[in-house]
Homo-oligomer: A and B are copies of this chain.
Amino acid sequence: MARPTPLSGFPEWLPDGRVVEQHVLDTLRRTFELHGFAGIETRAVEPLDQLLRKGETSKEVYVLRRLQEDESDGGAPADRSEKQLGLHFDLTVPFARYVLENAGRLAFPFKRYQIQKVWRGERPQDGRFREFVQADIDVVGAGELPYHYEVELPLVMAEALGALREVGVPEVRILVNNRKVAEGFYRGLGLEDVEGVLRQVDKLDKIGPDAVGELLQTEQGATAEQAKACLELAAISGDDVGVVDRVRALAGSYDAVTELLETGLAELGSLVEAAARRAPGVVVADLKIARGLDYYTGSVYETVLVGHEQLGSICSGGRYDTLASDGKNTYPGVGLSIGVSRLVSRLLSAGLVAATRGVPTAVLVAVTDEEHRAQSDAVAAALRARGVPVDVAPTAAKFGKQIKFADRRGIPFVWFPGLPGDDGSAGPDQVKDIRSGEQVDADAATWAPPAQDLFPRVVPAAAG
């Protein structure tokens, strides 16, 4: 087998990169659990018709085929009763299906987190992968879901991402908007194709306000004044409730105040207010946030890494009045999804964070000679029983070579089992900190490394 090369769009990390990713995942999981979200996993596949239900062909679904089908009859499914399956492209569609499938056995409102890989056959680019990890939180109600969850969920994400600041993850800014504000404003202006207008506004970052203004007139049939009003709304942002007053004043100046707009502004205001109190400086109302997806009906969220805005959103979501429906019940929800691979890939490639080592091992137990390997194994067992990650040298090479083995892996301590002296009694064990060179007598029943050396840590990188 020739040396294989990486597959574009399918990221993999070396062991020290995986330590970083694992730390991110552990931190997210802990925060989600502290907030009462239950962890679930769904299967990687869904029936193809469900994946395409929202017309999501842009996600470039991967379709599965069993190899044996191919061989037995030239490509046609051997068993026609088997549904065609595809890999899920997000965790929302599978979660909606899980809720419907298990509705009778879940307690609502149901809060869940879900951390899994998803797949999209899109063209790989910087920060855009074909296989990547998402970490989602959602709360879903049966029939109804109080508004306050639209305030709480982005704050949970702010806390989760904030808990990563200490290891060198940059500050985040959560940009929020409310569909009711946009829709109320556009309808007040007399623009009825709200989806169409949102689709054009969503292009602002890519093509700029002049081109969007042009498109609003040529594609959506807006007048010059209507287009101007849409651009003025999109230009409003701020992290205090003053933003609500500015939107209301703008709408008033165009005589575009509607009941829907007022409802949206009340919601947006209470979100901004709660955020200013509970996570100052993190949440910013940004009236240009449109989120292309048509199923959002209230708050919408996007999140940028400060200083890495061109990476795009690393955590997005919103409120949907109909996450799922089985004809009898409707399940409204609100949720956000962190693009873990996009985040971790940037942390590693930009040298923002680093692992202190790529192996869990805190101590390498040296082997004096193969006849005494059992003595080294016994030391290792005693340390492990007390929670210390330990490896034993692979061979009884010269001690210098065994120390090099540890050094190459970043293992901070090497343990030397005591040797029997001339009188037959064993000498004391010794442990060496190979960074300082300090070597002291030690007993495997009591010695422990300093807490910061026990497991690999993730720290801000020197280059960051």
Which of A's residues lie within 8 Å of B, judged by CB? 1-7, 10-15, 18-19, 21-22, 33-45, 47-48, 50, 52-53, 57, 60-68, 70-71, 83, 85-87, 97-98, 100-103, 105-107, 109, 111-112, 117, 119, 121, 131, 141, 146, 148-149, 152, 274, 278, 324-327, 358-361, 373-374, 377, 381, 384, 387-391, 394-395, 405, 408-409, 455
Contacts and interface: CB of A to CB of B under 8 A. Distances in A.
A391 B35 contact: yes
Contact of A45 (B7, B374, B455): B7
Contact of A389 (B33, B107, B391): B33
Interface of chain A, main secondary structure? mixed
Given A1-B53, A6-B101, A11-B43, 10 more contacts: A1-B50, A2-B327, A33-B389, A34-B384, A36-B361, A57-B67, A62-B67, A63-B66, A107-B408, A146-B395
Contact of A15 (B1, B112, B119, B394): B112
A458 to B, nearest CB: 13
B131 A44 contact: yes
A41 to B, nearest CB: 6
Q: How many copies does the complex hold?
A: 2
B67 A38 contact: no
Given A3-B100, A4-B100, A384-B34, A62 B60 contact: no
A60 B64 contact: no
B43 A326 contact: no
A217 to B, nearest CB: 32
Given A12-B43, A43-B131, A373-B148, A34 B278 contact: no
Given A57-B71, A394-B146, A360 B101 contact: no
A295 to B, nearest CB: 13
Nearest to A395: B146
A323 to B, nearest CB: 11
Nearest to A34: B384
A36 B2 contact: no
B101 A3 contact: yes
A270 to B, nearest CB: 11
